Amino acid sequence: MVPDAPLYLDACATTPLAQVARQAMDEACMTAWANPSSLHGFGLAAAESLERSRQSLAADLGTQAEAVRFCSGATESIHLALLGAAAALEPGRVLISGVEHPAVTAAAGRLQQQGWQLQAVPVDATGLLDLDALQALLRSPTRLVSVIGAQSEVGTLQPLGQIARLCRQAGVLFHTDAVQLAPHLPLAMDQLGFDLVSLSAHKLGGPRGVGALLVRQGLSMAPLLGGGGQERGLRAGTEPVVLAAGFAAALALARRQQSDGTSARIQHQRDRLLLALQDLPGVTLSGPHPARQPRLPHHLSLLLSDPRGRPLSGRQVVRALWQQGVAASSGSACSGASGRPQPSPVLLAMGVDRDRASSGLRLSLGCWLEDAQIERLPAALAQAMAGCGAVPP
């Protein structure tokens, strides 16, 4: 039996739908339900709603409305960014980091099948990109770089401004997966000089099924799908007007929370939780320490071991935590959920050995959590670890 209300600490996987997003979607359902390509009054109302959402997103992301292309989510956005940009280039080399989301590695793999060279730039033990290695690789035939802005599994924040500057100096296109970054930190696309930025609504309190690709003005791109020529010819298909309204409202809320004290409160909760969890035997922080290096403000990642120092199965601990009403994760929600547990590619890239790379636990907080609720976590984790076995050899 679950003694208290369940705690949701898996914001990096998805977030609860924000009330303001629900309200915006309800209004759009009533007033903007038509096809925005239709020329009658109903269609014009839908088109107006869509453009208001586009303008709102652009303002909150530091770019122009013309840069925003709606799509179904981050996976489509990432594929459109890499494959669409590469279609206008001669095949060359594409660089990614060693700690990318599976969507980026999949899209880059598609380019490799098309004759591109694929190379992963190494990271250090905290997941931070090796800028010297990147700069050395920004010579011909490199034409495209994709680096995750904030790593969902270990919380590392990459120096995107520096990366964008190095790419711009080398004449190389730069794409960033900003899915985890956008909910928590300002993202000024034009100021920082990004060429392509991928986003998803459901990581920041918006609905599932909608995301966006930001495209620098003048950049040549090819669509993945043909059809009606929507989204300035880059993404065919009737636009998700209602979902876009929820997306825009949720991002606007996230921006307000960065300045009204909400984000600071969540970060304070995270820091207090880290202090309490580090007192537990067998618990080690992975990724950057927030006192020494930038990290997602709502994020903790841990490596777990038993009293004999043997790595515990992170997946088993997640299941055991849920028996106590705590929802957590053992890594990216997109890295697979069946079969024998595989070591985390992210942790392996950071130099963690294979056994310990299966012992990860991720806790990602949100504005819905109260201090008293979070105080349940240390005891719940200790109990969950006591009932779990070591990673099988």
Give yes or no for a cis peptide into 141 (omega within 30° of 0).
Answer: yes
Mean pLDDT taken over the chain = 94
- The per-residue pLDDT for 338 is 46
CATH number at residue 85: 3.40.640.10
- The per-residue pLDDT for 387 is 86
End-to-end CA distance of the chain: 33
Q: Which of 236, 271, 292 delimits the end of a domain?
A: 236
CATH number at residue 300: 3.90.1150.10
User: Taking the complete model, does pTM exceed 0.85, yes or no?
Assistant: yes
Residue 292 CA to its chain's centroid (Å): 22
* 79 and 172 share one domain: yes
Q: Which of 221, 236, 251 delimits the end of a domain?
A: 236
Please choose, from the candidates 184, 186, 239, the residue with its C-alpha nearest in 3D space to the C-alpha of residue 212: 239
- The per-residue pLDDT for 2 is 45
Task: Tell me, yes or no, whether 41 lies in a domain.
Answer: no
Task: Tell me, yes or no, whether 199 lies in a domain.
Answer: yes
Segment 66-94 mean pLDDT: 97
- The residue range of the domain holding 110 is 65-236
Task: Tell me, yes or no, whether 37 lies in a domain.
Answer: no
Residue positions annotated with a catalytic role = 334
* 230 and 166 share one domain: yes
Task: Tell me, yes or no, whether 211 lies in a domain.
Answer: yes
Q: pLDDT digit string (tens) for 177-222?
A: 999 999 999 889 988 999 999 999 999 999 999 999 999 999 999 9
For residue 177, the cross-strand partners are: 148, 198
- The per-residue pLDDT for 390 is 74
* 208 and 316 share one domain: no
* 171 and 318 share one domain: no
Task: Tell me, yes or no, whether 227 lies in a domain.
Answer: yes
State the DSSP string of 21-76.
Answer: HHHHHHHHHHHS-S-TT--SHHHHHHHHHHHHHHHHHHHHHTS-GGGEEEESSHHH
* 217 and 110 share one domain: yes
Please choose, from the candidates 390, 14, 6, 5, the residue with its C-alpha nearest in 3D space to the C-alpha of residue 202: 14
Task: Tell me, yes or no, whether 180 lies in a domain.
Answer: yes
Q: Using 50, 70 and 90 to split pLDDT, how confident is the model at 87? A: very high
How many Å apart are CA 120 and CA 99, to the nearest integer? Answer: 9
* 376 and 339 share one domain: yes
pLDDT at 115 over 50: yes
Strands 283-285 and 117-121: unpaired
Percentage with pLDDT > 70 across the chain: 96
How many Å apart are CA 195 and CA 80, to the nearest integer? Answer: 13
- 220 SS3 class: coil
Q: pLDDT digit string (tens) for 252-289?
A: 999 999 999 999 999 999 999 999 999 999 999 999 99
CA angle in degrees (0–180, nearest 5) for 255-177-237: 90
pLDDT at 33 over 80: yes
Total count of domains within the chain = 2
Task: Tell me, yes or no, whether 44 lies in a domain.
Answer: no
Non-local (6+) Cβ contacts of 338 within 8 A are: none
* 230 and 376 share one domain: no
Q: pLDDT digit string (tens) for 124-146?
A: 999 999 999 999 999 999 999 99
* 220 and 280 share one domain: no
- The per-residue pLDDT for 341 is 63
- 158 SS3 class: coil
Tokens of 263: 């984000």
Q: pLDDT digit string (tens) for 1-30?
A: 345 789 999 999 999 999 999 999 999 999
- 235 SS3 class: coil
Q: pLDDT digit string (tens) for 318-330?
A: 999 999 999 999 9
